[in-house]
């Protein structure tokens, strides 16, 4: 952190207001605008690469800032973050990351093994048919001649197969609680590898924007002083040119 003399800032503000009627509002607007810009630059260059595996420039390109120019300080706002659309496509991936919102898979798709987003793609899903092929998923009928119809015994029957054959298998099963999924079954353990019943998952919160904005907020006084001095120089140069 840096040391700020708030008496100097107060004096600077008074001088701005006395300099020109729009000097102080313009300084505030440029301060907010610069803070938004610096937040975006910091997030793209340093913060986002730490949070995400960025495979291309699309996600970073969808992040930017904007502001509404007005002389009314009470209504001044600057925004930093992901635009609602980019290159003709709706966005929203990074908002879901920031707040850890739930996402839902659709139709013939299901979530990949790690449902948390990677590379900015929040709905990391795969086709079930492709998933079954890649994992060599078996049905219980593929393992035993007489698969049980008793849901409470299906996992036990599959595990008996794994024990007999000294192997580990991925089996499509519905357990006694109606929980449908791909189970990884070995002679020693049974674990749910993929949940095919639940279409919703919650993304792990990754506060890339808050991290960047908090750091820039710590420099707010320095940015204000810098913009105030620039405004003084412009007003002085304008006064000299008119004299």
Comparing CA positions, the residue from 158, 164, 224, 234 lying closest to residue 193 is 158
Contact 140, 158 (CB under 8 A): yes
Per-residue pLDDT, 107 = 57
- Continuous segment of H or E residues that includes residue 143: helix 140-143
What's the pLDDT tens digit per position in 183-204? 999 999 998 887 776 566 666 7
The predicted-structure confidence for 74-114, as pLDDT tens digits, reads as follows 899 999 999 999 999 888 888 888 887 766 655 555 655 44
Tens digits of residue pLDDT in 20-68: 889 999 999 999 999 999 999 999 999 999 888 887 788 899 999 998 8
Residue 210 in 3-state DSSP?
helix
Computed over every residue of the chain, the mean pLDDT equals 83
Which range among 10-14, 145-149, 176-180 shows the weakest confidence by mean pLDDT?
Answer: 176-180
- Angle at the Cα of 213 (from 120 to 1), degrees rounded to 5? 135
Could you say which DSSP state residue 202 is in? E
Whole-angstrom distance, CA of residue 165 vs CA of residue 144: 12
As a whole-number percent, the residues of the chain with pLDDT over 90 amount to 45
Domain parsing of the chain, residue ranges: 6-99+205-242, 102-202
Give the pLDDT score at 116: 35
- HEC sequence for 1-57: CCCCCHHHHHHHHHHHHHHCCCHHHHHHHHHHHHHHHHHHHHHHHHHHHHHCCCCCC
């Amino acid at each position: 952190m840096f040391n700020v003399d708030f008496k100097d800032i107060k004096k600077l503000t008074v001088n701005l207001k006395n300099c020109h009627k729009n000097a102080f509002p313009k300084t505030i607007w440029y301060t907010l605008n610069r803070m938004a810009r610096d937040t975006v630059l910091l997030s793209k260059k340093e913060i986002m690469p730490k949070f995400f595996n960025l495979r291309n420039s699309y996600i970073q390109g969808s992040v930017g800032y904007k502001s509404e120019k007005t002389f009314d300080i009470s209504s001044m706002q600057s925004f930093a973050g992901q635009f609602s659309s980019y290159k003709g496509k709706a966005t929203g991936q990074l908002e879901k990351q920031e707040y850890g919102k739930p996402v839902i898979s659709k139709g013939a798709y299901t979530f990949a093994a790690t449902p948390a987003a990677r590379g900015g793609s929040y709905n990391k899903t795969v086709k079930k048919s492709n998933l079954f092929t890649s994992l060599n998923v078996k049905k219980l009928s593929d393992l035993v001649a007489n698969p049980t119809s008793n849901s409470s015994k299906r996992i036990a029957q599959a595990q008996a197969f794994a024990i007999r054959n000294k192997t580990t298998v991925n089996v499509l099963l519905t357990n006694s609680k109606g929980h449908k999924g791909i189970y990884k079954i070995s002679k020693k353990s049974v674990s749910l590898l993929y949940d095919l019943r639940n279409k919703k998952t919650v993304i792990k919160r990754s506060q890339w924007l808050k991290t960047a904005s908090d750091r820039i907020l710590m420099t707010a006084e320095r940015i204000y002083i810098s913009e105030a001095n620039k405004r003084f120089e412009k007003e002085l140069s304008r006064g000299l040119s008119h004299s």
